[in-house]
Amino acid sequence: MNRKALQKLSYGVYLVTTAQNGKSYGCVANSAMQITSSPAQIAVSINHDNATHDQIAQSGKFALSILATDTDPALIGGFGYRSSRDADKFAGVPSAEHDGMPVPDAAMAWITCRVVKIMTAGTHTIFLGEVTDCELNRADGIPMTYLYYHTVIKGNSPKNAPTYVPPEEK
């Protein structure tokens, strides 16, 4: 098995956010995809150890922020390399509220979902959400791909990303 083949899969770079008891949570995720068109459904794969995981499970909803190529890399670092257990990730991040969930203004588009199915998949949980609302924050901008994140921004993926590649496989 040549695991390098797995690295040829394509993704985007997103924020998955939610809110619970008046507190905001969220993390970076590349693992988001549209599963059906009618009704529109989106799946995300979230590591059990992420604070965002339990909060989505409890709130039963999540918002997906689609990031553009000109997104400040500090936003990705702030949401992808820290936990809400240790930091208020939304401090200093201008955000709007949609269906009670925080969506950073930097998102080029956002989608809110209500969780309709939960599937445990080893280290991760797949949350399937039915789209409850979605909108563009701006008409221009190019959605950031995972490839762009790695090759142009020179970003990495931490252990909790489903696409994490251990150093010995690089």
Binding residues for ligand FMN (CB under 6 A): 13, 27-31, 45-47, 50-52, 76, 80-84, 149, 155, 157-158, 160-162
Q: Of 13 and 42, which CB lies nearer to ligand FMN in the complex structure?
A: 13
CB of 118 to ligand FMN, least distance (A): 14
Which residues neighbour 62 within 8 Å (Cβ) at sequence distance 6 or greater?
A: 16, 17, 18, 44, 56, 101, 112, 113, 115, 127, 129
CB of 41 to ligand FMN, least distance (A): 17
Q: Of 112 and 160, which CB lies nearer to ligand FMN in the complex structure?
A: 160
Which residues neighbour 132 within 8 Å (Cβ) at sequence distance 6 or greater?
A: 61, 99, 112, 113, 114
CB of 51 to ligand FMN, least distance (A): 4
Q: Of 82 and 137, which CB lies nearer to ligand FMN in the complex structure?
A: 82
Largest CA distance in the chain: 46
CB of 6 to ligand FMN, least distance (A): 14
Q: Of 90 and 98, which CB lies nearer to ligand FMN in the complex structure?
A: 90
Q: Of 46 and 93, which CB lies nearer to ligand FMN in the complex structure?
A: 46
CB of 98 to ligand FMN, least distance (A): 19
Is the bond preceding 102 in cis, omega lying within 30 degrees of 0? no
Q: How many CB atoms lie within 10 A of CB 156?
A: 12
141: helix, coil or strand? coil
How far, in Å, CA of 99 to CA of 97, rounded?
A: 7
- Per-residue tokens: 132: 């409850």
